[in-house]
Amino acid sequence: MKYKSQKVAYWFFALSMLLLSLQIVYGFIMGFAHMGYDNLHSVIPFNTARAVHTNLLVVWLLSGFMGAAYYIIPEEAEHELVSVKWAYIQLISFAVVGVIAVIGYHLNYWEGRKFLEIPRPLDWLVVVNVLTFLGLILATLYKGKKRTTTSLVLTMGLVFAALLYLPGMIWFDNQTMDSFFRWWVVHLWVEGVWELIMGGILAFLLIKITGVDREVIEKWLYVIVGLTFISGILGTGHHYYYIGAGKMWLIIGGIFSALEPLAFLGMALFAIAMYRKGEKRHPNKTALNWTLGTAIVSFVGAGLLGLAHTLPQVNLYTHGTLVTAMHGHLAFWGAYAMIVLAIISYALPNLTGRKLYDTTHGQLAFWLSNIGMLGMTVAFGVAGVSQVYMERIIGIEFGEVQQEIQVHFLILVLCATMFTAGISYFIYEFLKYGTPNDEALVSK
């Protein structure tokens, strides 16, 4: 690392790993419940497990993004973080809000809005926390020597993500209105501004790993930002089809969301092109795997599997079934989980000074988790398509269909076990690196 304050990033990454482990536990609880072994039902009913699983996902990804920003911004701006102390306060308070929310869900303190279950009073704590984070990042950029395109795109993504949290906090008595604005958060995050965060981190990693000129990489970044906004904003319409929001959304949502895979395709082609162009390749092969992997898997999970159910004619049947879970897993994994694991893999050797670049454990972590997640996606997909056929075409009752598809969850749990083995290797490597230290500082 080049700046002492970058060390803060490590602790955000550590929190990320802890919450990822916990998320997986709740995934298994649901996997077994789907198989018919809902033994924990009286303590952790399915709805609680689901809310905890998805909220922990969002929190560990955000913690990873914040760590990424604390690592990248000082290096790009060529300036120490303005206050390390406040960054630690922000980290601890972020973790505390997360813990309160998760405990609350177990005590039925939650709002029944998928992904936005955090009760509104806690939302205000999130707002204060994120403002502190953004204040630190923006002040560092302002005081810094340089404002690179990479750092600006990353910061823009973070600022917009914070702003887009607000529509979800407005109170509506009307279900349609509430759903309408819930999508401003959920969709415009993952199919809009989070893509900027991903693009910013991806550009940073490609600059460092491939050795290609910054000018070339940053030009591509503009194209990706453009494609994301052109398709992603009106693409929100693919969630307005049948919620009472008006017929015009069938056509607007259908056309624009069908264009969204282009942004992900752009990112994949971009990463591969830079990899092939790069001559001064960095020896950190693990980070390279995760970086190229994220660009490719996100195209499959978000782009292709998103496209698979985005047309209104298809979504009429698939909406709210396990087809959504199929896409949700590979999209979140490919785009956001993998980019967080990529920046961690790149940053750890620099923060700790230990160069465990290309170990067997690192390779196992990458391949087991990816193959496991791909298997899980297929299991969800097969279960989802069977569910759609039985429930929506033949008209068999919901509960009966759930029993028919139990067997697919055996496959899901087996693949999830492989996935978990991969993640365990990743965390094992993480622990083996040890904590960051000043001896790892290199001259600027």
Q: Is 87 in the site for ligand HEM (CB under 6 A)?
A: no
Using the rule CB under 6 A, is 114 a contact of ligand HEM? yes
Q: Name the token pair of 143.
A: 């005081």
CA dihedral 72, 295, 232, 187 (to 10 degrees): -80
Q: Is 331 in the site for ligand HEM (CB under 6 A)?
A: yes
Pick from 7, 79, 309, 408 the residue near ligand HEM by CB under 6 A: 309
Give the 3-state secondary structure percentages of the chain, helix then strand then coil, rounded to 5: 80, 0, 20
For residues 369 and 415, the answer to whether their CB atoms sit within 8 Å is: no
Residue 381 contact partner, candidates ligand HEM, Fe ion, none, CB within 5 to 8 A by sort of partner: none
For ligand HEM, the binding residue among 325, 371, 414, 421 (CB under 6 A) is 325
DSSP-derived letter for residue 443 is -
Whose Cβ is closer to ligand HEM: residue 82's or residue 335's? 335
Compute the distance between CA of residue 366 and CA of residue 405 in angstroms, rounded to an integer: 30
> Under a CB-based contact definition with an 8 Å cutoff, are residues 29 and 44 in contact?
yes
Shortest distance, CB of residue 417 to ligand HEM, whole angstroms?
A: 7
Residues 141-180: x/- map of binding to ligand HEM (CB under 6 A)?
----------------------------------------
319 binds, among Fe ion, ligand HEM, none (CB under 5 to 8 A by kind): ligand HEM
Q: Which stretch binds ligand HEM (CB under 6 A): 52-60, 77-85, 220-228, 427-435?
A: 52-60
Residue showing tokens 């990320």: 16
The three-class DSSP label of residue 212 is: coil
Q: What is the Cα–Cα distance from 208 to 212, expressed in whole angstroms?
A: 8
306: contact with ligand HEM by CB under 6 A: yes
Joined together, the tokens standing for residue 141 give: 């950029």
Neighbours of 19 (CB within 10 A): 24
CB 186, min distance to Fe ion, A: 7
Q: Position of tokens 């995934």?
A: 27
Interacting residue with ligand HEM among 1, 14, 50, 267 (CB under 6 A): 50
19 vs 335 by CB, closer to ligand HEM: 335
Please state, in angstroms and rounded to a whole number, the distance separating the CA atoms of residues 357 and 368: 18
- Looking at 79-87, 180-188, 388-396, 425-433, which segment touches Fe ion (CB under 5 A)? 180-188
Number of residues that bind Fe ion (CB under 5 A): 2
**Is residue 387 involved in binding ligand HEM (CB under 6 A)?**
no
What count of other Cβ atoms lies within 10 Å of the Cβ of residue 373? 25
DSSP 272-291: HHHHHH--S--S-HHHHHHH
Six token digits for residue 164: 């887009």
- The one among 8, 27, 352, 374 contacting ligand HEM by CB under 6 A: 27
**SS3 per residue for 337-367:** HHHHHHHHHHHHHHHHCCCCCCCHHHHHHHH
- Other C-beta atoms closer than 10 Å to the C-beta of 247 total 10
**Is position 315 an interface residue for ligand HEM (rule: CB under 6 A)?**
yes
Total interface residues for ligand HEM by CB under 6 A: 42
CB-based contacts of 152: which residues, under 8 Å, 6+ apart?
141
Q: Binding to ligand HEM (CB under 6 A): which residues in 201-260?
A: 238, 257, 260
Does residue number 340 form part of the binding site for ligand HEM (CB under 6 A)? no
Q: Take residue 385 and report the two structure tokens written for it.
A: 């398509």
Least distance (Å) between residue 28 CB and Fe ion = 27
Report the residue number, 359 or 417, with the smaller CB distance to ligand HEM.
417
Residues 91-150 that bind Fe ion (CB under 5 A): none
Which of residues 187, 309, 327, 329 is near Fe ion by CB under 5 A? 187
Is 181 one of the binding residues for ligand HEM (CB under 6 A)? no
CA angle 49, 51, 56 (to 5 degrees): 95
Please identify which residue in 223, 273, 307, 441 interacts with ligand HEM, judged by CB under 6 A.
307
Among Fe ion, ligand HEM, none, the one that 27 touches (CB under a kind-dependent 5 to 8 A) is ligand HEM
Residue nearest to Fe ion (CB): 187
Contact between 408 and ligand HEM per CB under 6 A: no
**Residues 333 and 419: beta-carbon distance below 8 Å:** no
| DSSP assignment letter at 211 | -
| Integer angstrom CA distances of residue 241 from 185, 264, 315 | 17, 23, 8
375 binds ligand HEM (CB under 6 A): no
Q: How far is the CB of 164 from ligand HEM (least distance, A)?
A: 14
Residues that bind ligand HEM (CB under 6 A): 24, 27-28, 30-31, 34, 50, 53-54, 57, 114-115, 186, 190-191, 238, 257, 260-261, 298, 302-303, 306-307, 309-310, 315, 319-320, 324-325, 327-329, 331-333, 335, 337, 416, 419-420
